[in-house]
């Protein structure tokens, strides 16, 4: 289970890195390409249970949440669902 959580956190982080590094405006091809990955990342994010995280996973999850917060405007501009509550 621990390794699956690590894979999910790594996948989410990777997709978020794509959003962080590409400047707006995105081409339609870029938007479609990342939207598929974003939907998968959201599914993995929702499936995570922080109550069973190791300390390292807790730190990685906190980093992802901070990064999501920083990218909120870009995520919403792209028309993607922002996964964290305000």
pLDDT in tens, 57-85: 999 999 999 999 999 998 988 888 888 76
Rounded CA-CA distance 20/73 in Å is: 11
Helix 2-21 to helix 55-70 angle (10° resolution) is: 20
Rounded CA-CA distance 30/55 in Å is: 35
Q: Where are the domains of the chain?
A: 2-77
> What pLDDT digit, counting tens, does each position of 11-37 carry?
999 999 999 988 888 888 888 888 899
User: Do the Cβ atoms of 60 and 14 come closer than 8 Å?
Assistant: no
pLDDT score recorded for residue 86? 57
| CA-CA-CA-CA torsion sign (69, 70, 71, 72) | positive
pLDDT score recorded for residue 31? 84
Q: Is the pLDDT of residue 8 over 90?
A: yes
pLDDT score recorded for residue 32? 84
User: Do the Cβ atoms of 79 and 38 come closer than 8 Å?
Assistant: no
pLDDT score recorded for residue 6? 97
Q: Is the pTM of this model over 0.95?
A: no
Angle at alpha carbon of residue 79, lines to 78 and 84, rounded to 5°? 100
């Amino acid at each position: 289970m621990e390794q699956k959580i690590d894979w999910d956190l790594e996948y989410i982080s990777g997709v978020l890195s794509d959003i962080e590094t590409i400047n707006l405006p995105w081409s339609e091809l870029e938007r479609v390409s990342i939207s598929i990955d974003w939907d998968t990342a959201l599914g993995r994010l929702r499936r995570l249970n922080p109550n069973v995280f190791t300390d390292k996973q807790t730190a990685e999850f906190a980093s992802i949440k901070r990064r999501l917060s920083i990218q909120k405007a870009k995520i919403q501009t792209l028309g993607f669902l922002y996964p964290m509550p305000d």
